[in-house]
């Protein structure tokens, strides 16, 4: 909260009312008491805590940028292009409280100073980070940890109901699981968003030839439970794949 606003609120009863009611101390005291009763005395405390936390976040942000820069060999340090570092610094002001996104901004700023990745970094990376949720960032971190190659199908599935005429009705179009604690409903939304941003491509008619990569789906409680309760349902193999643009984004912007 702006210090001017905070100070105004805190001194309102003691300052303004004292002047306005200089000859009538009773009403001023009543107003002071009323403001205290409804919590105005807590505003300064809350604002102070927010300032302290924001200062800590900003310091951590600076430290993260510095830590990424020191990884760059001295001979590869370059003047960062304003088209990347400018929008990144501006946009990051609004995401300073979200650690996962803050770290992505820190990485793209540092990478813009490395001449070895000039052919991989893109000015649109900043705008992409702005359109990610913290959950999207966590999804990308898991994806990077799997060392996924470009155009290599990542196992997903869809749940369908087979009709008697041979057609099928899709119940869940995208089921994506990396581990047993994954929320496949959130993962589906994330995949939709990452596809919209041009990071990956989902395919309902392409799948990973490694059957083992699908084994987690047949051991996932929510899925096995649904199949038991609805025998008319079944799973169909699908996949998504990261493209070259997405691979560069993940490599340069994701921890």
240 forms beta bridges with: 154, 202
Give mean pLDDT, residues 75-81. Answer: 93
Structure confidence by residue, pLDDT tens digits, 176-223:
998 878 899 999 999 999 999 999 999 999 999 999 999 999 889 889
Lowest mean pLDDT among 2-16, 46-60, 164-178, 214-228: 2-16
Q: Give me the pLDDT at residue 17, please.
A: 41
Which of 252, 249, 12 has the alpha carbon at shortest distance from 131?
249
Give mean pLDDT, residues 81-94. Answer: 92
Q: Give me the pLDDT at residue 55, please.
A: 84
Global pTM value: 0.78
Residue 35 confidence class, pLDDT cut points 50, 70, 90: low
Q: Give me the pLDDT at residue 27, please.
A: 56
Residue 173 confidence class, pLDDT cut points 50, 70, 90: very high
Query: What value does the mean pLDDT of the chain take?
Result: 85
Query: How many Å from the N-terminal Cα to the C-terminal Cα in the chain?
Result: 32
pLDDT of 9 over the 50 cut: no
Give mean pLDDT, residues 56-66. Answer: 90
pLDDT of 37 over the 80 cut: no
77 forms beta bridges with: 114
93 forms beta bridges with: none
- Counting residues of the chain whose pLDDT is more than 90, the rounded percentage is 61
Q: Give me the pLDDT at residue 50, please.
A: 77
Domain ranges of the chain: 3-38, 44-130, 144-250
Q: Give me the pLDDT at residue 10, please.
A: 46
Residue 43: partners with Cβ closer than 8 Å, 6 or more residues away: 1, 6, 9, 10
């Amino acid at each position: 909260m702006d210090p001017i606003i905070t100070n105004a609120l805190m001194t309102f009863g003691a300052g303004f009312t004292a002047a306005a009611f200089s000859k009538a101390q009773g009403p001023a005291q009543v107003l002071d008491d009323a403001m205290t009763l409804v919590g105005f005395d807590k505003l300064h405390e809350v604002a102070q805590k927010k300032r302290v936390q924001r200062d800590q976040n900003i310091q951590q942000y600076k430290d993260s940028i510095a830590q990424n820069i020191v990884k760059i060999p001295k001979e590869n340090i370059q003047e960062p292009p304003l088209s990347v570092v400018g929008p990144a610094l501006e946009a990051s002001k609004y995401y300073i409280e979200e650690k996962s996104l803050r770290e992505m901004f820190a990485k793209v700023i540092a990478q813009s100073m490395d001449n070895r990745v000039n052919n991989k970094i893109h000015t649109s990376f900043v705008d992409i980070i702005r359109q990610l949720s913290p959950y999207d960032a966590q999804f990308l971190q898991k994806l990077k940890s799997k060392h996924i190659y470009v155009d290599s199908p990542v196992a997903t599935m869809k749940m369908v109901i087979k009709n008697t005429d041979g057609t099928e009705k899709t119940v869940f179009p995208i089921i994506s699981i990396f581990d047993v604690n994954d929320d496949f409903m959130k993962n589906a939304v994330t995949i939709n968003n990452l596809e919209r941003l041009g990071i990956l491509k989902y395919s309902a008619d392409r799948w990973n030839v490694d059957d083992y990569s699908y084994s987690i789906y047949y051991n996932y409680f929510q899925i096995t439970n649904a199949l038991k309760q609805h025998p008319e349902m079944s799973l169909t193999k699908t996949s998504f794949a990261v493209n070259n643009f997405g691979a560069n984004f993940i490599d340069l912007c994701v921890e």
